[in-house]
Each structure stands twice: as structure tokens, then as C-alpha cells.
Amino acid sequence: MKKILMMIIYVLFTLAISYSQSVESKVRKFARNEYPNDQKMQEYVFNEQISAYRYMRKVDDVQVKQFAQVEYPNDYSLQKYVYDNQLSAKRYMVSVSDREIKRKALREYPNDYSLQKYVYDNQLSAKRYMVSVSDREIKRKALREYPNDYSLQKYVYDNQLSAKEYMDRVTNLRIKRKAVREYPSDYSMQKYIYDMSVK
């Protein structure tokens, strides 16, 4: 029994050394491909990749680890970067408080925590902005066009408000009336028609 146990340990040890050597040779090849004519940079890349490889072997979030490995199967340094970024965003998403926007972010990017965080932050900022706007007519238009997307509401609002202010300052009243007649509730299109007609 002792002999069998020793044999198993020996085989596992041999496999571990063999795998480690195979990773090192793979990383050396990667470094040579990155900097074929620069020995110092090859060494730098090699050390960086090996360090990241060791780091990735010890990480504990399997889901995030797999995401990073799928993104960059041959680059341990980028795996580490993606892993850290995703893990930070995953923790952030656990702590967020706006459920409506969180559901939207999860629905849009169910497997990518960084993009969930981006969508959440962007939508939350736009939602707060839309609460503070003062032109009710344009706000209604933005809400009607994009009832479930605060970022697009903000875009429409800003675009329409800028065009409305522009149309208030124009001087050619004949062309202005034409533009308003063609697009009575769309200031951006009024501005477009006005600018095209004035040229």
C-alpha cells in the first residue's frame, strides 16, 4: 500500500513539473512573439506573464476566472487584469441600490460585470439628470421615445433642448416657419431643415 501511495505521489509530482515546464515554454514563446528583437522586453514580458499565471492559479472566483480565461486564453497578464476588473465590478454590483437600473444592466450584460457596472453608472447618472431637467415639453418627448433608457432620454433631451434654443435665435422667419410646419414637435429636425434651407 505504501508503495502504491509513493508511486501516485511521484506521478503527480512529475506531472506538475512537466505542466510547469510546458507553461514556461509557452510563456517564453509568447514573449518572443511579442518582442522578437528585444531580449530585455522578452524577459520583462516573461516575468510579467509568469507572475500573472501564478496569480490566476490562486484566485477563488471560478466564474470570473473562467470569464477572464475565455477573453484572453493565451495572455495571463490580461487574464489577471480582466479578473481584477470583473471581480471589483461584481462586488460593486452587489452593493448598488437602484433595482430598476440594476435589472436593466443584468439583462443587457448577464455575464460581464464590468459592462453591468458601466451601464448601471451611466443609467443612474442619466436618471438623476432627467429628474432635474426643467423643459417639460422636451422631457415628455424624451420619455415617450425611450421610456426604459435614461441615457437615451438624456441624449434626446440635450439634443432637442439645444436645437430648441437654436431655433429661438434664428433670424430667417420664413424658413423657420417652414421648418416648424414640417416638424412641429421635433426641434432637431427643425434645426436640420433650417440649416439646409439657409445654405
3-class SS shares of the chain: helix, strand, coil, % to 5: 85, 0, 15
- Asked if residue 12 is part of any domain, the answer here is yes
- Asked if residue 47 is part of any domain, the answer here is yes
What pLDDT sits at residue 17? 47
What pLDDT sits at residue 138? 97
The number of domains in the chain is 2
Residue 123's Cβ-side half-sphere holds a number of Cα atoms within 13 Å equal to 23
Q: Give pLDDT tens digits for 162-185.
A: 999 999 999 999 999 999 999 999
pLDDT exceeds cutoff 90 at 22: no
pLDDT > 90: percent of the chain? 82
Q: Which of 39, 58, 77 is the last residue of a domain?
A: 58
What pLDDT sits at residue 36? 92
Q: Which of 58, 73, 102 is the last residue of a domain?
A: 58
- Asked if residue 101 is part of any domain, the answer here is no
- Asked if residue 124 is part of any domain, the answer here is no
Q: Give pLDDT tens digits for 40-57.
A: 999 999 999 999 999 999
pTM, entire model: 0.80
- Asked if residue 88 is part of any domain, the answer here is no
What pLDDT sits at residue 23? 85
- Asked if residue 148 is part of any domain, the answer here is yes
Q: Which of 17, 34, 58 is the last residue of a domain?
A: 58
- Asked if residue 23 is part of any domain, the answer here is yes
- Asked if residue 183 is part of any domain, the answer here is yes
Contact 79/58 with Cβ under 8 angstroms?
no
Q: Which domain holds residue 193?
A: 133-198
Burial pattern 88-110, b for ≥16 Cβ within 10 A else e, equals ebbeebeeeeeeebbebbeeebe
